[in-house]
Amino acid sequence: MSKIKILPENLANQIAAGEVIERPASVVKEFVENAIDAGAQNISIQIEGDGSRLIRVVDDGSGMEEDDILLSLERHATSKLTSSEQLSSIHTLGFRGEAIPSIASVSKLTITSRTHAAELGSRAEIRFGKLLKVHDMGCPPGTVMEVKDLFGNLPARKKFLKSRQTEISHIDEIIKNYALVQHELGFHCEIQGRTSLDVPAHGGSLERRVRQIICRSESEDLLGLNFREAQSDIVVSGFLVAPENSTGGTAGLRIFVNGRAVKDRTIGHAVSEGLHNFLLKGRRARGVVFVNLPAQDVDVNVHPTKQEIRFHRSQKVHVAVTEAVRQGMERYQKKVRSEIFGSPPESSALVSEEKRGTQDTVLEVIHTNENTPAKEVRITDVSALKWSQEDSGFVSREPEPEFFASSPLVSEASVDKLEAGKSSEGHMSPEDLKKENPVFQGGIKKVTAPLPEVGSMRYVGQIFNSYIVCETASGFVLIDQHAAQERLIFEELCKQYKESKIPSQVLLFPEIVELSPDDRQNLEQNGEEISRIGLEIKEFGGNSFIVQGVPASLSHLGPVDVVAGILARYSEEGRKGGAARLEHVLAGMACKASIKAGRRLLPEEVEALLTKMREAGIFSHCPHGRPVLKSFSKDDVKKWFLRT
């Protein structure tokens, strides 16, 4: 007697169901995909319990005749494939022909359907793989798929379902995914009698659908993606939520390839790469990314549930998605610039180096002691604002003249005027305040030194000695002074490194430092790169090294601290590639060189910083991903005071 036997059809269907029907959400996915393939304009989903009690999906698609209903219950029966050649070019969501018979074998399934041309529809009732009856009945055009008692004949499978909330969340995720990718279709979903999603057909643009489903509020900023790679015909589109509203997990990013919701590490990594230096560590992008490419360049037949795919040229896809996100971030910078500064300046981000050199002079105030008067030192680049830090004890030194431009922004007369009006603590005395401020005189006096304005943004003041407050045409904005300058200096350092070498400040008295074995190894392995970032250090004997020059932007720090900080960052990023490690080092240098929180700024310094921001190509986030500014509209203010 033969040992090998053909499995009974019902048993084979149950085995197939174990691959295709993982949980109630899998049933919803198969039914919704069939409805979309049938040309439905409106899809309604009803869920009871965790989905195992009832799943009902109603659509107004093309419908089926009685013969087609019966054929759909057979394994490998499909209307979507007719030849093997089509497997290399799949254009539909469902095509295997296993879903309906698999579902029918583990549930009580009822199919009601009618074509638009027929007067009557047909209804088929199946109980755990056994067809009970088929009959004609009146029903609207389209199809109703109803599943009850899912896994009722397989209690071992049913007990492995998760909690009701977990299963419902998986169902909700499936429905929202298809409501996004098919944003012109209408979706209505009721779970336990509660409407969880209700979006009409032709209810607006993709952006509106994204705001309805993904955004936590209507005011969240979105980065639009729109990129085409001409050679490989790859098109990337979608919307990402602004980096400051990113999420801590990976579930916030929804990926679609040729209209199919998938999980793909290549695209997920490309999105993170495009947002490099804009996301905080541990945060992930949130939004929706659509990738469309020729069907023959993607294999969707590698997984029973079709949630995983394989690209023919994955590197091309990665490059296209990364570039799409980068370009989207550039457009976002322009949008933010326009909102807070108004119309861009003549040269905006394209300011020539010659012109930029005449606009960057600011004043630096160095308080070396609380009991001594403030000392003013003229410097000539906003990136050279270096303060004596209470925590470091180092006093900034004037940079080399050749490193920065030299045209002054503040005249000698204005400097004298500022100095004359200050008390020994660097503030206006009460007597001078009474003379200068009309409020204390009881009269009206013309203000001779108005607060600076940059574009349509007017400087109002500073709070907590850390945040700059400015009024804009549409409201007001808070700017983190440290994060703002940190991004500007970081971009300048990156530019200088790419062009040749970051300027170095030669030490008048070279200093000897002792390095640990790990630091010495990092120095030997990355000596050329370290030299290009402006650190001049040479071996002196044993573990001793002599520091002859430090990056000019860090010249206010002690050489020992500079060397220790740079080599520590090389140790932290030792396992990463050169580009990521270099950016980490430059970001650390920019952080050390920037204005610190808690430092009071002069209006002239604020004006120089805002001008630099207005001209910069990138300014919205510091290199570590923290937001630089936060805007508040007039409507927000009115709501606070109940004036709407």
Query: What are the residues whose beta carbons fall under 8 Å from the beta carbon of 123, sequence distance 6 or more?
Result: 110, 111, 112, 134, 135, 136, 137, 139
Specify whether 267 is located in the same domain as 146: no
Please check whether residue 324 lies inside any domain of the structure: yes
Specify whether 183 is located in the same domain as 221: no
List the strands of the sheet with 260-262, edge to edge. 222-229, 234-241, 287-292, 253-257, 260-262
Please check whether residue 359 lies inside any domain of the structure: no
Residue with tokens 């805002």: 610
Specify whether 601 is located in the same domain as 471: yes
Q: Are 31 and 57 in contact (CB under 8 A)?
A: yes
Query: Angle between the 164-181 and 24-37 helix axes, to the nearest 10 degrees?
Result: 20
Q: Are 582 and 205 in contact (CB under 8 A)?
A: no
% the chain with pLDDT above 90: 55
Round to whole Å and give the CA distance between 434 and 488: 39
The pLDDT value recorded for residue 281 is 85
Could you read off the pLDDT of 206-228 as tens digits, one per residue? 999 999 999 988 778 999 999 99
Please check whether residue 43 lies inside any domain of the structure: yes
% the chain with pLDDT above 70: 76
Round to whole Å and give the CA distance between 307 and 83: 23
Task: Report residue 404's pLDDT band, with 50, 70 and 90 as the boundaries.
Answer: very low
Specify whether 525 is located in the same domain as 632: yes
Q: In the predicted model, is pLDDT for residue 545 greater than 60?
A: yes
- Domain limits for position 298: 206-340
Task: Report residue 170's pLDDT band, with 50, 70 and 90 as the boundaries.
Answer: very high
Task: Report residue 418's pLDDT band, with 50, 70 and 90 as the boundaries.
Answer: very low
Task: Report residue 398's pLDDT band, with 50, 70 and 90 as the boundaries.
Answer: very low
Q: In the predicted model, is pLDDT for residue 461 greater than 60?
A: yes
Task: Report residue 384's pLDDT band, with 50, 70 and 90 as the boundaries.
Answer: very low
The pLDDT value recorded for residue 415 is 39
* Single-letter amino acid, residue 423: S
Given 309, 340, 371, the domain boundary residue is 340
Q: In the predicted model, is pLDDT for residue 90 greater than 60?
A: no
Specify whether 507 is located in the same domain as 644: yes
The pLDDT value recorded for residue 378 is 36
Beta strand extents in 427-486 (DSSP E only) = 453-454, 457-463, 467-471, 475-480
Task: Report residue 577's pLDDT band, with 50, 70 and 90 as the boundaries.
Answer: low
Domain count, the chain: 3
Closest to 175 in 3D by CA, of 300, 44, 314, 11: 44
Query: What are the residues whose beta carbons fall under 8 Å from the beta carbon of 403, sequence distance 6 or more?
Result: 384, 503, 552
Decide: helix, strand or coil at residue 553. helix
- What DSSP designation does 79 have? S
Please check whether residue 508 lies inside any domain of the structure: yes
Report H helices in 225-289.
Answer: 265-274
For residue 631, the domain's CATH number is 3.30.1540.20
Mean pLDDT across the stretch 49-56? 95
Mean pLDDT across the stretch 103-115? 94
| Tokens describing residue 403 | 């490193």
What is the Cα Rg of the chain in Å?
33
Specify whether 195 is located in the same domain as 226: no
The pLDDT value recorded for residue 168 is 95
For residue 173, the domain's CATH number is 3.30.565.10
Q: In the predicted model, is pLDDT for residue 122 greater than 70?
A: yes
Round to whole Å and give the CA distance between 370 and 376: 15
Specify whether 510 is located in the same domain as 634: yes
φ/ψ (deg, to 5) at 373: -65, 155
Q: Are 309 and 266 in contact (CB under 8 A)?
A: no
Round to whole Å and give the CA distance between 23 and 1: 39
The pLDDT value recorded for residue 83 is 55
Q: In the predicted model, is pLDDT for residue 295 greater than 70?
A: yes
The pLDDT value recorded for residue 70 is 92
φ/ψ (deg, to 5) at 617: -75, -35
One DSSP character per residue, 490-516 reads HHHHHHHHHHS---EEEEEEEEEEE--
Specify whether 190 is located in the same domain as 219: no
The pLDDT value recorded for residue 297 is 87
Round to whole Å and give the CA distance between 534 and 532: 5
The pLDDT value recorded for residue 429 is 53
Round to whole Å and give the CA distance between 638 and 347: 35
Mean pLDDT across the stretch 153-162? 87
Which is higher by pLDDT, 422 or 34?
34
φ/ψ (deg, to 5) at 463: -120, 145
- CA dihedral (394, 397, 402, 405) in degrees, to 10, reads 100
The pLDDT value recorded for residue 443 is 45
The whole model's pTM is what? 0.76
Closest to 28 in 3D by CA, of 45, 49, 53, 50: 45
One DSSP character per residue, 297-345 reads GEE--SSTTS---EESSHHHHHHHHHHHHHHHHHHHHHHHHHHHH-SPP
Please check whether residue 363 lies inside any domain of the structure: no
Point out the least confidently predicted range of 4-8, 123-127, 432-436, 449-453.
432-436
Q: Are 16 and 305 in contact (CB under 8 A)?
A: no
Specify whether 153 is located in the same domain as 287: no
Mean pLDDT across the stretch 295-311? 75
Query: What are the residues whose beta carbons fall under 8 Å from the beta carbon of 5, sequence distance 6 or more?
Result: none
* Single-letter amino acid, residue 615: E
Please check whether residue 18 lies inside any domain of the structure: yes
Mean pLDDT across the stretch 287-307? 80
The pLDDT value recorded for residue 99 is 83
The pLDDT value recorded for residue 77 is 66
Given 325, 340, 355, the domain boundary residue is 340
Specify whether 18 is located in the same domain as 55: yes
Specify whether 604 is located in the same domain as 477: yes
Are β-strands 253-257 and 287-292 bridged in parallel, bridged antiparallel, or unpaired?
parallel
Given 340, 373, 404, the domain boundary residue is 340
Point out the least confidently predicted range of 83-97, 102-116, 166-180.
83-97
The pLDDT value recorded for residue 211 is 92
The pLDDT value recorded for residue 120 is 95
Mean pLDDT across the stretch 25-39? 92
For residue 221, the domain's CATH number is 3.30.230.10
Point out the least confidently predicted range of 249-258, 384-393, 427-436, 534-543.
384-393
Please check whether residue 62 lies inside any domain of the structure: yes
Query: What are the residues whose beta carbons fall under 8 Å from the beta carbon of 77, sequence distance 6 or more?
Result: 71, 97, 101
* Single-letter amino acid, residue 538: K
Round to whole Å and give the CA distance between 350 and 553: 23
Specify whether 620 is located in the same domain as 555: yes
* Single-letter amino acid, residue 215: C
Could you read off the pLDDT of 321-375 as tens digits, one per residue? 999 999 999 999 999 999 899 865 444 333 333 333 333 333 333 333 334 343 3
Computed over every residue of the chain, the mean pLDDT equals 80
The pLDDT value recorded for residue 72 is 87
Are β-strands 42-48 and 186-191 bridged in parallel, bridged antiparallel, or unpaired?
parallel
Which is higher by pLDDT, 34 or 391?
34
Burial 537-567 (b: 16+ CB within 10 A, else e): beeeeeeebbbebbbbbbbbbbbeebbbbbb
**What are the C-alpha distances in Å from 559 to residues 148, 490, 546, 564?**
74, 20, 10, 8
Closest to 490 in 3D by CA, of 271, 222, 213, 276: 276
Q: In the predicted model, is pLDDT for residue 40 greater than 90?
A: yes
Please check whether residue 357 lies inside any domain of the structure: no
